[in-house]
Amino acid sequence: MAKSAATEIDAGGRALRVSSFDRVIFPATRSTPDITKLQVVEYYLAVEDGIMRALRERPTTLERWPKGVHEGIVVSTREKGGGDAFFQKRVPRGAPDYLETATIEFPSGRTADEICPTEIAVVGWAAQMGTITFHPWPVRRADVDHPDEMRIDLDPQPGTDFDDAVRVAAEARKLLEELGYRGFPKTSGGRGVHIYVRIEPKWTFTDVRHAVIAFGRELERRMPDDVTVKWWKEERGEKVFIDYNQNARDRTIASAYSIRPRPGAPVSAPVEWDELPSVQPEHFTVTTMPARFAEIGDRQAQIDDVQHSLQPLLDMYERDETGDMPYPPDYPKMPGEPKRVQPSRARPDPEDAEASGEG
């Protein structure tokens, strides 16, 4: 059997071997060419400053598509593994000796050593191993229990689209400014918009999650026809969902500059607030982003210049009488959490039924 083609490229001063470099990872579309494995690796090297600013010193889950992003590829889920594409939380076998790690703890109490990028060669190596998307934790390895980043995920629900997320982002910007926060928006690489805010690493994951719940509730009050924080899909309607649970422990968002596994190889692109209304997610791809990056640099270059206090949002959360919101279904029952059941399947509380004269 013939050996697969391989080549060697420079990755931050290290020699990086790329096997099967001509394998097509993203098939051509009407508007984009074939994207090979080598092009994926070279893309990440081309946006080095940006991707390292997003990943440096952060425990990172790898979303691997070693066979490429093709029709018929089976993706592993939390419920069923064994797919062609999968999320890897533990360090893969054969990792180079320069790869460093961080130990993180899952909600279950189990732990794992995740890769913790400290140089671009690590990113290049992960890409050569079939990683398409990098999912960093919102913590640094020096303190993995206290996030330094609040993430606001504007997630358009069925019947809404990217333009709706952009309209909500404009109001989110106003609210951030009122709070004295500086937010950094980016496209998700799909229909959504992500906004990152650096915070002082002194609060827990639960605190950060509560802060985003408070932020989302305020947006919902300001834009009731456009925004929802309802966890259950049956209650959301055609609105933009503020996915507060993306701030729970072990929940991550695709990093800035990460490639997304969609036709055309779109990437999650940092943008300026004022340019957000004039862009579309498909404008930013593996083939277009390197030129943009070379011309304007990293739109998040100043993200580490300031760290904000969560206290204003935590005060808002405490003033809100509606309390906590449900966690994802795979989480253990959390303190203060309401019933974790769809409203359409919920049974009346016996005390409520007695008070109303039912039963």
Helices in 24-144 by DSSP H: which ranges? 37-46, 48-55, 120-128
Does residue 1 surpass a pLDDT of 50? Answer: no
pLDDT on residue 82: 82
**pTM of the predicted model over 0.85:** yes
How is residue 328 annotated by DSSP? P
Question: Would the CA dihedral through 288, 292, 297, 298 be positive or negative?
Answer: negative
**Confidence grade of residue 359 (pLDDT, cut at 50, 70, 90):** very low
Query: Distance between CA 194 and CA 154 in Å, rounded?
Result: 6
Highest mean pLDDT among 108-112, 310-314, 331-335: 310-314
Per-residue pLDDT tens for 12-59? 999 999 999 999 999 999 999 999 999 999 999 999 999 999 999 999
**Confidence grade of residue 87 (pLDDT, cut at 50, 70, 90):** very high
How far is the CA of 238 from the CAs of 168, 218, 227, 280, in angstroms?
13, 18, 9, 20
Per-residue pLDDT tens for 227-280? 999 999 999 999 999 999 999 999 999 999 999 999 999 999 999 999 999 999
**Confidence grade of residue 353 (pLDDT, cut at 50, 70, 90):** very low
pLDDT on residue 207: 98
Query: Distance between CA 211 and CA 200 in Å, rounded?
Result: 13
pLDDT on residue 3: 55
Does residue 180 surpass a pLDDT of 60? Answer: yes
Mean residue pLDDT of the chain comes to 93
User: Of 217, 201, 205, nearest to 318 (Cα)?
Assistant: 217
CB atoms within 10 A of CB 142: 10
pLDDT on residue 334: 84
**Confidence grade of residue 342 (pLDDT, cut at 50, 70, 90):** confident
Query: Distance between CA 35 and CA 287 in Å, rounded?
Result: 8
| Token code pair at residue 142 | 């020096």
Of 19-33, 64-78, 172-186, 292-306, give the lowest mean pLDDT range. Answer: 64-78
**Confidence grade of residue 181 (pLDDT, cut at 50, 70, 90):** very high
**Confidence grade of residue 349 (pLDDT, cut at 50, 70, 90):** low
Question: Would the CA dihedral through 157, 342, 147, 75 be positive or negative?
Answer: negative
pLDDT on residue 29: 94
How far is the CA of 285 from the CAs of 124, 188, 260, 264, 334, in angstroms?
18, 12, 9, 7, 39
pLDDT on residue 321: 82
Average pLDDT over residues 6-15: 96
Query: Distance between CA 356 and CA 294 in Å, rounded?
Result: 66
**Confidence grade of residue 4 (pLDDT, cut at 50, 70, 90):** low
pLDDT on residue 256: 98
CB atoms within 10 A of CB 312: 16
**Percentage of the residues of the chain whose pLDDT score is greater than 90:** 84
How far is the CA of 311 from the CAs of 172, 214, 221, 322, 337, in angstroms?
18, 11, 20, 19, 21
pLDDT on residue 43: 98
Average pLDDT over residues 159-165: 98
* DSSP three-state, residue 208: helix
| Tokens 């779109």 -> residue | 266
Does residue 296 surpass a pLDDT of 70? Answer: yes
**Confidence grade of residue 340 (pLDDT, cut at 50, 70, 90):** confident
pLDDT on residue 93: 85
User: Of 41, 50, 51, nearest to 14 (Cα)?
Assistant: 41
